[in-house]
Amino acid sequence: LHAVVGRHPGAAVRRDDIALVPLTDRRKDLSPMSKPRILVARNIFPEVVERLSQHFEVESNPQDVVWTPAELAQKLADKDGALTTGSQRVDAALLAAAPRLRIVANMAVGYNNFDVDAMTAAGVQGTNTPDVLTETTADFGFALLMATARRMAESEHYLRAGQWTKWSYDLFAGTEVHGSTLGILGMGRIGQGIAKRGAHGFGMNVVYHNRSRLTPELEAECKARYVSKEELLRTADHLVLVLPYTPASHHAIGAAEIAQMKPTANLINIARGGIVDDAALAQALKDRRIAAAGLDVFEGEPAVHPELLTVPNVVLTPHIASATVPTRLAMANLAADNLVAFFEGRGPLTPVNTPAGKRA
Protein backbone atom coordinates (compact mmCIF):
# COMPACT_ATOMS: atom_id res chain seq x y z
CA LEU A 1 0.00 0.00 0.00
CA HIS A 2 2.89 2.27 0.71
CA ALA A 3 3.84 1.97 -2.94
CA VAL A 4 0.29 2.73 -4.00
CA VAL A 5 -0.25 5.86 -2.00
CA GLY A 6 3.29 7.06 -1.53
CA ARG A 7 3.07 7.08 2.25
CA HIS A 8 5.92 6.43 4.58
CA PRO A 9 6.08 2.92 5.98
CA GLY A 10 4.07 2.38 9.09
CA ALA A 11 1.63 5.20 8.43
CA ALA A 12 -2.01 4.21 8.72
CA VAL A 13 -3.66 3.71 5.35
CA ARG A 14 -7.06 5.32 4.91
CA ARG A 15 -9.69 4.04 2.52
CA ASP A 16 -9.50 7.41 0.73
CA ASP A 17 -5.85 6.94 -0.07
CA ILE A 18 -6.60 3.80 -1.98
CA ALA A 19 -9.57 5.34 -3.71
CA LEU A 20 -7.28 7.98 -5.20
CA VAL A 21 -5.71 5.39 -7.45
CA PRO A 22 -7.58 4.24 -10.57
CA LEU A 23 -8.80 0.68 -10.14
CA THR A 24 -6.70 -0.85 -12.90
CA ASP A 25 -3.47 0.74 -11.67
CA ARG A 26 -4.28 -0.17 -8.12
CA ARG A 27 -4.80 -3.79 -9.03
CA LYS A 28 -1.44 -3.84 -10.66
CA ASP A 29 0.22 -2.05 -7.77
CA LEU A 30 -1.53 -4.05 -5.08
CA SER A 31 -0.39 -7.32 -6.54
CA PRO A 32 1.89 -9.19 -4.14
CA MET A 33 5.55 -8.26 -4.32
CA SER A 34 7.18 -10.07 -7.20
CA LYS A 35 8.40 -13.53 -6.28
CA PRO A 36 12.11 -14.41 -6.27
CA ARG A 37 13.24 -16.06 -9.47
CA ILE A 38 14.58 -19.58 -9.17
CA LEU A 39 16.36 -21.82 -11.65
CA VAL A 40 15.93 -25.58 -11.26
CA ALA A 41 18.99 -26.65 -13.19
CA ARG A 42 18.13 -30.30 -13.85
CA ASN A 43 14.90 -32.23 -14.24
CA ILE A 44 13.56 -33.24 -10.82
CA PHE A 45 10.27 -34.52 -9.40
CA PRO A 46 7.42 -32.45 -10.97
CA GLU A 47 5.66 -32.22 -7.60
CA VAL A 48 8.71 -30.48 -6.12
CA VAL A 49 8.84 -28.03 -9.04
CA GLU A 50 5.13 -27.42 -8.49
CA ARG A 51 5.72 -26.74 -4.81
CA LEU A 52 8.52 -24.33 -5.65
CA SER A 53 6.18 -22.53 -8.07
CA GLN A 54 3.93 -21.64 -5.14
CA HIS A 55 6.78 -19.57 -3.69
CA PHE A 56 8.88 -18.55 -6.66
CA GLU A 57 8.92 -17.71 -10.34
CA VAL A 58 10.50 -20.94 -11.52
CA GLU A 59 12.43 -21.75 -14.67
CA SER A 60 12.83 -25.52 -14.74
CA ASN A 61 14.51 -27.94 -17.10
CA PRO A 62 12.01 -30.71 -17.93
CA GLN A 63 14.12 -31.76 -20.95
CA ASP A 64 16.97 -32.37 -18.51
CA VAL A 65 19.55 -30.63 -20.67
CA VAL A 66 22.97 -30.62 -19.03
CA TRP A 67 23.78 -26.98 -19.72
CA THR A 68 27.31 -25.84 -20.46
CA PRO A 69 28.81 -23.36 -17.96
CA ALA A 70 28.04 -20.55 -20.45
CA GLU A 71 24.40 -21.64 -20.81
CA LEU A 72 24.05 -21.95 -17.05
CA ALA A 73 25.53 -18.47 -16.59
CA GLN A 74 23.05 -17.07 -19.08
CA LYS A 75 20.12 -18.79 -17.30
CA LEU A 76 21.27 -17.44 -13.92
CA ALA A 77 21.78 -13.85 -15.08
CA ASP A 78 18.35 -12.81 -13.75
CA LYS A 79 17.85 -15.44 -10.99
CA ASP A 80 17.81 -14.97 -7.23
CA GLY A 81 18.29 -18.63 -6.38
CA ALA A 82 19.10 -22.00 -7.93
CA LEU A 83 18.52 -25.67 -7.25
CA THR A 84 21.47 -27.63 -8.61
CA THR A 85 22.81 -31.16 -8.66
CA GLY A 86 26.44 -32.25 -8.65
CA SER A 87 26.65 -31.66 -12.40
CA GLN A 88 26.61 -27.84 -12.18
CA ARG A 89 29.87 -26.16 -11.23
CA VAL A 90 29.33 -23.03 -9.15
CA ASP A 91 32.50 -20.94 -9.22
CA ALA A 92 33.66 -17.32 -9.26
CA ALA A 93 33.06 -16.96 -13.02
CA LEU A 94 29.47 -18.19 -12.70
CA LEU A 95 28.81 -15.98 -9.69
CA ALA A 96 30.13 -12.94 -11.55
CA ALA A 97 27.62 -13.64 -14.32
CA ALA A 98 24.75 -14.00 -11.83
CA PRO A 99 24.68 -10.72 -9.88
CA ARG A 100 21.28 -11.35 -8.25
CA LEU A 101 22.02 -14.90 -7.12
CA ARG A 102 21.81 -15.28 -3.33
CA ILE A 103 21.51 -19.02 -2.73
CA VAL A 104 22.38 -22.28 -4.47
CA ALA A 105 20.70 -25.37 -3.01
CA ASN A 106 22.50 -28.53 -4.07
CA MET A 107 20.42 -31.69 -4.31
CA ALA A 108 23.29 -33.82 -2.98
CA VAL A 109 25.13 -34.26 0.27
CA GLY A 110 28.46 -33.81 -1.55
CA TYR A 111 29.11 -30.27 -2.77
CA ASN A 112 32.49 -30.49 -4.45
CA ASN A 113 30.78 -28.81 -7.43
CA PHE A 114 30.72 -25.64 -5.28
CA ASP A 115 33.70 -23.34 -4.95
CA VAL A 116 32.67 -22.64 -1.37
CA ASP A 117 35.26 -19.90 -0.81
CA ALA A 118 34.12 -18.05 -3.93
CA MET A 119 30.48 -18.36 -2.84
CA THR A 120 31.24 -17.16 0.68
CA ALA A 121 33.25 -14.20 -0.60
CA ALA A 122 30.47 -13.29 -3.02
CA GLY A 123 27.83 -13.45 -0.27
CA VAL A 124 26.11 -16.48 -1.79
CA GLN A 125 24.60 -19.12 0.47
CA GLY A 126 25.20 -22.78 -0.35
CA THR A 127 23.18 -25.69 1.02
CA ASN A 128 23.30 -29.49 0.63
CA THR A 129 21.10 -32.48 1.55
CA PRO A 130 22.66 -34.42 4.43
CA ASP A 131 20.96 -37.05 6.61
CA VAL A 132 18.03 -37.86 4.31
CA LEU A 133 20.23 -40.15 2.22
CA THR A 134 22.47 -41.67 4.89
CA GLU A 135 20.84 -45.08 5.33
CA THR A 136 19.98 -45.55 1.65
CA THR A 137 23.54 -44.77 0.62
CA ALA A 138 24.94 -47.06 3.32
CA ASP A 139 22.63 -49.84 2.03
CA PHE A 140 24.05 -49.35 -1.45
CA GLY A 141 27.64 -49.27 -0.23
CA PHE A 142 27.07 -52.61 1.40
CA ALA A 143 25.30 -53.99 -1.68
CA LEU A 144 28.21 -52.96 -3.88
CA LEU A 145 30.66 -54.54 -1.42
CA MET A 146 28.75 -57.82 -1.58
CA ALA A 147 28.30 -57.73 -5.34
CA THR A 148 32.04 -57.17 -5.72
CA ALA A 149 33.14 -59.80 -3.20
CA ARG A 150 30.73 -62.40 -4.57
CA ARG A 151 31.36 -61.53 -8.24
CA MET A 152 27.71 -60.96 -9.04
CA ALA A 153 28.09 -58.76 -12.14
CA GLU A 154 30.82 -60.88 -13.70
CA SER A 155 28.93 -64.13 -13.16
CA GLU A 156 25.68 -62.66 -14.43
CA HIS A 157 27.33 -61.56 -17.68
CA TYR A 158 28.75 -65.08 -18.06
CA LEU A 159 25.33 -66.63 -17.57
CA ARG A 160 23.59 -64.20 -19.97
CA ALA A 161 26.26 -64.89 -22.58
CA GLY A 162 25.25 -68.58 -22.51
CA GLN A 163 28.64 -69.65 -21.17
CA TRP A 164 27.28 -71.61 -18.18
CA THR A 165 27.41 -75.28 -19.11
CA LYS A 166 28.21 -77.00 -15.81
CA TRP A 167 28.68 -76.49 -12.05
CA SER A 168 32.29 -76.39 -10.93
CA TYR A 169 33.87 -76.15 -7.48
CA ASP A 170 35.61 -72.84 -8.18
CA LEU A 171 33.07 -71.20 -10.49
CA PHE A 172 33.14 -67.50 -9.57
CA ALA A 173 34.54 -68.30 -6.14
CA GLY A 174 34.93 -64.93 -4.46
CA THR A 175 36.07 -63.48 -1.16
CA GLU A 176 34.37 -63.92 2.20
CA VAL A 177 32.23 -61.13 3.62
CA HIS A 178 31.11 -62.35 7.06
CA GLY A 179 33.86 -62.35 9.63
CA SER A 180 36.29 -60.49 7.37
CA THR A 181 37.89 -57.07 7.96
CA LEU A 182 35.91 -54.09 6.76
CA GLY A 183 38.01 -50.95 6.31
CA ILE A 184 36.31 -47.58 5.98
CA LEU A 185 38.08 -44.44 4.78
CA GLY A 186 35.95 -41.43 5.79
CA MET A 187 33.81 -42.05 8.86
CA GLY A 188 30.98 -39.56 8.53
CA ARG A 189 27.32 -40.51 8.78
CA ILE A 190 27.40 -42.83 5.74
CA GLY A 191 30.65 -44.47 6.84
CA GLN A 192 29.12 -45.13 10.23
CA GLY A 193 26.04 -46.65 8.58
CA ILE A 194 28.25 -49.05 6.61
CA ALA A 195 30.26 -49.90 9.73
CA LYS A 196 27.09 -50.81 11.64
CA ARG A 197 25.85 -53.02 8.81
CA GLY A 198 29.19 -54.81 8.68
CA ALA A 199 29.73 -55.18 12.41
CA HIS A 200 26.22 -56.02 13.53
CA GLY A 201 24.85 -57.76 10.43
CA PHE A 202 27.89 -59.66 9.19
CA GLY A 203 30.16 -60.01 12.22
CA MET A 204 32.90 -58.07 10.46
CA ASN A 205 35.91 -56.66 12.20
CA VAL A 206 35.62 -52.92 11.43
CA VAL A 207 38.58 -50.56 11.20
CA TYR A 208 38.43 -46.97 10.00
CA HIS A 209 40.50 -43.93 9.25
CA ASN A 210 39.17 -40.40 9.28
CA ARG A 211 40.43 -36.83 9.66
CA SER A 212 39.09 -36.88 13.19
CA ARG A 213 38.49 -39.79 15.47
CA LEU A 214 34.92 -40.65 16.52
CA THR A 215 33.85 -40.32 20.14
CA PRO A 216 34.22 -43.52 22.21
CA GLU A 217 30.39 -43.78 22.23
CA LEU A 218 30.18 -43.69 18.42
CA GLU A 219 33.10 -46.10 18.08
CA ALA A 220 31.26 -48.50 20.39
CA GLU A 221 28.00 -48.10 18.45
CA CYS A 222 29.80 -48.84 15.17
CA LYS A 223 32.06 -51.47 16.78
CA ALA A 224 34.84 -49.72 14.88
CA ARG A 225 38.52 -49.27 15.71
CA TYR A 226 40.48 -46.21 14.62
CA VAL A 227 43.70 -47.03 12.71
CA SER A 228 46.26 -45.16 10.60
CA LYS A 229 45.68 -45.00 6.85
CA GLU A 230 48.62 -47.38 6.38
CA GLU A 231 47.11 -49.98 8.72
CA LEU A 232 43.74 -49.56 7.05
CA LEU A 233 45.23 -50.24 3.61
CA ARG A 234 47.26 -53.16 4.89
CA THR A 235 44.54 -54.96 6.83
CA ALA A 236 41.22 -54.37 5.05
CA ASP A 237 39.65 -57.25 3.14
CA HIS A 238 37.08 -54.75 1.87
CA LEU A 239 38.06 -51.09 1.72
CA VAL A 240 35.10 -48.73 1.34
CA LEU A 241 35.69 -45.06 0.44
CA VAL A 242 33.16 -42.63 1.88
CA LEU A 243 35.19 -39.44 2.26
CA PRO A 244 34.38 -36.05 0.74
CA TYR A 245 36.25 -35.00 -2.41
CA THR A 246 38.55 -32.07 -1.74
CA PRO A 247 41.97 -31.07 -3.12
CA ALA A 248 43.43 -33.05 -0.16
CA SER A 249 41.58 -36.26 -1.07
CA HIS A 250 42.38 -36.11 -4.81
CA HIS A 251 43.90 -39.52 -5.71
CA ALA A 252 43.91 -40.54 -2.04
CA ILE A 253 43.96 -44.04 -3.53
CA GLY A 254 46.55 -44.37 -6.30
CA ALA A 255 49.14 -46.94 -7.34
CA ALA A 256 51.17 -46.53 -4.12
CA GLU A 257 48.14 -47.09 -1.88
CA ILE A 258 46.84 -50.02 -3.94
CA ALA A 259 50.28 -51.60 -3.64
CA GLN A 260 49.84 -51.68 0.14
CA MET A 261 46.52 -53.56 -0.06
CA LYS A 262 46.15 -57.32 0.23
CA PRO A 263 46.09 -59.11 -3.16
CA THR A 264 42.77 -60.61 -2.07
CA ALA A 265 41.23 -57.23 -1.12
CA ASN A 266 38.29 -55.45 -2.72
CA LEU A 267 38.05 -51.67 -3.15
CA ILE A 268 34.64 -49.96 -3.11
CA ASN A 269 34.18 -46.30 -4.09
CA ILE A 270 30.81 -44.70 -3.38
CA ALA A 271 32.31 -41.29 -2.54
CA ARG A 272 33.43 -39.33 -5.58
CA GLY A 273 35.41 -39.89 -8.74
CA GLY A 274 38.85 -38.34 -8.40
CA ILE A 275 39.44 -39.83 -4.95
CA VAL A 276 40.70 -42.92 -6.79
CA ASP A 277 43.23 -42.70 -9.61
CA ASP A 278 41.08 -44.70 -12.05
CA ALA A 279 43.95 -45.36 -14.49
CA ALA A 280 46.08 -46.84 -11.69
CA LEU A 281 43.14 -48.88 -10.44
CA ALA A 282 42.36 -50.28 -13.91
CA GLN A 283 45.99 -51.38 -14.23
CA ALA A 284 45.95 -52.94 -10.75
CA LEU A 285 42.75 -54.86 -11.56
CA LYS A 286 44.23 -56.05 -14.84
CA ASP A 287 47.36 -57.24 -13.06
CA ARG A 288 45.22 -58.80 -10.28
CA ARG A 289 47.14 -56.65 -7.81
CA ILE A 290 43.89 -56.62 -5.82
CA ALA A 291 40.96 -59.01 -6.26
CA ALA A 292 38.24 -56.66 -7.46
CA ALA A 293 36.61 -53.24 -7.24
CA GLY A 294 33.08 -51.88 -7.02
CA LEU A 295 32.71 -48.36 -8.38
CA ASP A 296 29.67 -46.10 -8.32
CA VAL A 297 31.62 -42.91 -9.10
CA PHE A 298 34.30 -42.09 -11.66
CA GLU A 299 36.88 -39.47 -12.51
CA GLY A 300 35.26 -37.24 -15.14
CA GLU A 301 31.92 -39.09 -15.02
CA PRO A 302 29.72 -39.85 -16.87
CA ALA A 303 32.83 -40.80 -18.85
CA VAL A 304 34.42 -44.00 -17.53
CA HIS A 305 38.09 -44.86 -17.95
CA PRO A 306 38.08 -47.17 -21.01
CA GLU A 307 40.30 -49.76 -19.31
CA LEU A 308 37.76 -50.16 -16.51
CA LEU A 309 35.21 -51.23 -19.12
CA THR A 310 37.45 -54.06 -20.30
CA VAL A 311 38.44 -55.66 -16.99
CA PRO A 312 36.07 -58.33 -15.65
CA ASN A 313 36.82 -57.96 -11.94
CA VAL A 314 35.01 -54.69 -11.41
CA VAL A 315 31.34 -53.92 -10.73
CA LEU A 316 30.34 -50.61 -12.32
CA THR A 317 27.21 -48.61 -11.46
CA PRO A 318 26.23 -45.11 -12.68
CA HIS A 319 26.36 -42.97 -9.50
CA ILE A 320 23.17 -44.41 -7.99
CA ALA A 321 24.07 -44.91 -4.33
CA SER A 322 21.30 -42.60 -3.09
CA ALA A 323 18.87 -43.59 -5.85
CA THR A 324 15.69 -44.89 -4.29
CA VAL A 325 12.50 -43.00 -5.08
CA PRO A 326 11.77 -41.97 -1.47
CA THR A 327 15.33 -40.83 -0.84
CA ARG A 328 15.71 -38.87 -4.06
CA LEU A 329 12.33 -37.24 -3.32
CA ALA A 330 13.49 -36.38 0.20
CA MET A 331 16.68 -34.86 -1.26
CA ALA A 332 14.71 -32.74 -3.75
CA ASN A 333 12.31 -31.63 -1.01
CA LEU A 334 15.15 -30.69 1.33
CA ALA A 335 16.81 -28.62 -1.42
CA ALA A 336 13.45 -26.90 -2.03
CA ASP A 337 12.91 -26.37 1.72
CA ASN A 338 16.29 -24.66 1.91
CA LEU A 339 15.23 -22.20 -0.81
CA VAL A 340 11.86 -21.51 0.82
CA ALA A 341 13.34 -21.05 4.31
CA PHE A 342 16.07 -18.77 2.99
CA PHE A 343 13.75 -16.46 1.07
CA GLU A 344 11.28 -16.40 3.98
CA GLY A 345 14.14 -15.07 6.09
CA ARG A 346 14.27 -18.13 8.34
CA GLY A 347 17.80 -19.01 7.28
CA PRO A 348 18.90 -22.10 5.37
CA LEU A 349 18.20 -25.49 6.97
CA THR A 350 21.40 -27.25 5.96
CA PRO A 351 23.99 -24.60 5.09
CA VAL A 352 27.50 -25.44 3.88
CA ASN A 353 28.90 -21.92 4.35
CA THR A 354 28.37 -18.67 6.17
CA PRO A 355 28.52 -15.95 3.53
CA ALA A 356 30.54 -12.90 4.51
CA GLY A 357 27.89 -10.37 3.54
CA LYS A 358 24.56 -10.18 1.82
CA ARG A 359 24.01 -9.72 -1.85
CA ALA A 360 21.56 -6.92 -2.62
Query: Nearest distance from residue 85's CB to ligand DGY, in Å?
Result: 6
244 binds ligand DGY (CB under 6 A): no
Asked if 332 touches ligand DGY (CB under 6 A), the answer is no
Radius of gyration of the chain (CA): 25
Which position among 38, 39, 56, 86 is part of the footprint of ligand DGY (CB under 6 A)?
86
CB of 77 to ligand DGY, least distance (A): 26
Site track 276-315 with ligand DGY (rule: CB under 6 A), x = hit: ----------------------------------------
- Establish whether 272 is a catalytic residue: yes
Q: Taking contact as CB under 6 A, which single stretch among the options 70-78, 108-116, 247-255, 309-317 is the one that binds ligand DGY?
A: 108-116
Residue 137 C-beta: closest distance to ligand DGY, Å: 7
Establish if 188 lies at the interface with ligand DGY (CB under 6 A).
no
Residue 110 within binding range of ligand DGY, rule CB under 6 A: yes
Catalytic residue list contains 157:
no
86/141 with CB nearer ligand DGY:
86
> Per CB under 6 A, which of residues 127..156 are in contact with ligand DGY?
133
Residues belonging to the active site: 272, 301, 319
Q: What does the binding site for ligand DGY look like in residue numbers (CB under 6 A)?
A: 86, 108-110, 133, 322
